[in-house]
Amino acid sequence: MMVLIASSVFFFATETAGTGGHQVLGKLVKKEFRNWKNALEVFAGHESTDYHTFSVTKFQNIGLIEEKKQDPIHYQLDLASKHRIEENRKRISPIIDTLILCGRQCISLRGHRDSGAIDSDIDPIENDGNFKAILRSKLRSGDEILKLHLESMSKTATYLSAKTQNEIINACGDIITKKIVNKINEAKFFSILADKSTDISCIEQFSLCFCFYNSITMKIEENFLKSVPITNLTGQSLANGLITTLEGLNSNSNFMVGQGYDGASSMSGAFHGVQAYIRAKYSSAIYVHCASHSLNLAISDACTVPQVRNSIATLSKLCNLFRTPKRQNVFATEIEKVNSDSKKQKLK
């Protein structure tokens, strides 16, 4: 018969034991236990402490995880995080979809007064813009996700403000730019087209386009990428702006094989034009005078020829002749008499 005799007992606890409940650690934890006469009473008191209960729970959870009856803590936290992300995405999706719809249809967003919450039951006295009007229509059509979002969130977290609208639009622009750049990188070789223009706010800018071969459609594609604000109109400054923009697009500009601009000296100059500075850095980028600008110049010069000028004037007068309700009706009737099956109609 084997007999085990214990003279003292220690429980091994972590450094953080007892800190949450501000409990003093004594016997069984920091001091050895020898008072076996009162063992049952001491053990019962120790068992009722918060740090003991917490330790037992942790031990039981470890056992459940080892037996595959419970997912690991990090996995549970990860699932909770994923669920929260999915829920947030569902809530903001109607807002993003509405902004994309307005952008695709060239519909302005904001109205005379577009601040404040959306009330699906009452139309505002003043126009609060197309964006909120479409969202109000969605609410009336039974969009439960949008309704839950607007009812459960505070007024400062509805994501309907003008600032948030701009942030979402910029994010959409970044995604579109990234997709175009990916197509350019897949095509490998590309050309750039750029032209100066002034927007409605009187800001001078470059309109930058890329021309490349699409291996899926087997056609040459020309995509507008972005507008680049400019302040200095010298050839070197314009070229530096273009180069900086190209380097920030994560595309390999060493595969740029062409560049097309108008015939202005700051763009096409052999020594101090944009094309010269671009060619100095990327030797394969051959400059070609933009075909559309060449056509515009040719038409402008042709209009100075008397015969062409007179023909255009005659056509203009002929159009004005039929631009009355009575003559237009006669014109359409005569076309119908000549050939009732004809698809020819007056241009509108």
**Per-residue pLDDT reduced to its tens digit, 33-65:** 666 767 777 777 777 777 777 777 777 777 776
Rounded to 5 degrees, φ, ψ at 123 are: -80, 140
pLDDT of residue 97 exceeding 90, the answer is yes
Give pLDDT, residue 4: 47
Confidence of residue 87 (pLDDT cuts 50, 70, 90): confident
Give pLDDT, residue 30: 64
**Nearest Cα residue to 194 out of 210, 183, 181:** 210
Token pair recorded at residue 174: 């970044």
111 and 193 share a domain? no
pLDDT of residue 22 exceeding 60, the answer is no
pTM recorded for the entire structure: 0.65
Q: Which range of residues forms the domain containing residue 222?
A: 189-295
**Range 267-279 average pLDDT:** 89
193 and 285 share a domain? yes
321 and 286 share a domain? no
**Nearest Cα residue to 259 out of 187, 192, 207:** 192
* 294/285 Cα distance (integer angstroms): 20
278 and 239 share a domain? yes
pLDDT of residue 222 exceeding 80, the answer is yes
Confidence of residue 93 (pLDDT cuts 50, 70, 90): very high
Give pLDDT, residue 151: 85
Q: What is the CATH number of the domain that holds 196?
A: 3.30.2170.10
In a domain, 180, yes or no: no
98 and 128 share a domain? yes
Q: Which residue has the higher pLDDT, 6 or 198?
A: 198
Give pLDDT, residue 175: 93
Give pLDDT, residue 318: 84
144 and 201 share a domain? no
Token pair recorded at residue 314: 């005659």
Q: Which residues pair with 196 in a beta bridge?
A: 206
